[in-house]
Amino acid sequence: MKAGGSVVDKAEGAAGYHFPDWAYKTESSPGSRQIQLWHFILELLQKEEFRHVIAWQQGEYGEFVIKDPDEVARLWGRRKCKPQMNYDKLSRALRYYYNKRILHKTKGKRFTYKFNFNKLVMPNYPFINIRPNAGEKETELVG
DNA sequence: GCCGGAACGA
DNA sequence: TCGTTCCGGC
């Protein structure tokens, strides 16, 4: 517990809802200014150039599928200067998010996870761009 | 593949 | 505190 500077004051919504703690973090964690994995994931999801590597799952809000685990791990390792990074280690880090309620696993679906955010956090995260159907025909949903 | 404990580092 | 590394187990 640290009281030395909450980044964000609890901004109670107009409707009286509260957002999860992680939703208040902007770019860095309170103590460390290292990039967070979940933020990095959102970063990749935001860019179309990585849609063959990781992409939002159509239909489920906040759900995404890692299409190329090796590549995602490589990119993550590159960002963190950890050349030995692989999906096994990366997924362990993702698993730590379960208790933090940032992520959970979509069981049964390979390489598929789901953010616990809801539309209420969207005002805090304008850069999160979930496209349910951005006018493109979805044909990549193959079992 | 996915899970989660354990030791460890920054 | 947030992973990184390693690993036994399912």
Residues A21-49 have a mean pLDDT of 72
DSSP assignment of chain A equals ---S--SS-----TTS----GGGT--SS-SS--SPPHHHHHHHHHH-GGGTTTEEEPSSSTTEEEES-HHHHHHHHHHHTT-TT--HHHHHHHHHHHHHHTSEEE-TTSTTEEEE---GGGGGG-TT----S--SS-------
- Beta pairing, strands A63-66 & A103-105: unpaired
> What pLDDT was estimated at residue A127?
57
Per-residue pLDDT for A20 more than 80?
no
- Give the residue with minimal CA–C1' separation from B2: A91
Positive/negative CA dihedral, A65, A67, A83, A90: positive
> What pLDDT was estimated at residue A21?
53
What is the four-CA torsion angle of A24, A28, A31, A32, rounded to 10 degrees?
160
- Give the residue with minimal CA–C1' separation from C1: A31
Are A112 and A63 a contacting pair, CB within 8 Å? yes
Separation of A88 CA and C7 C1' (Å): 11
pTM of the model as a whole? 0.72
pLDDT digits (tens, 9 = 90+) for A70-81: 999 999 999 999
Per-residue pLDDT for A32 more than 90?
no
Separation of A135 CA and C4 C1' (Å): 40
For chain A, the residue count is 143
pLDDT digits (tens, 9 = 90+) for A61-70: 889 999 999 9
CB of A100 nearer than 7 A to strand B: no
Separation of A92 CA and B7 C1' (Å): 15
CB of A33 nearer than 7 A to strand B: no
Kindly state the percentage of chain A with pLDDT values over 90: 44
pLDDT digits (tens, 9 = 90+) for A48-57: 899 999 999 9
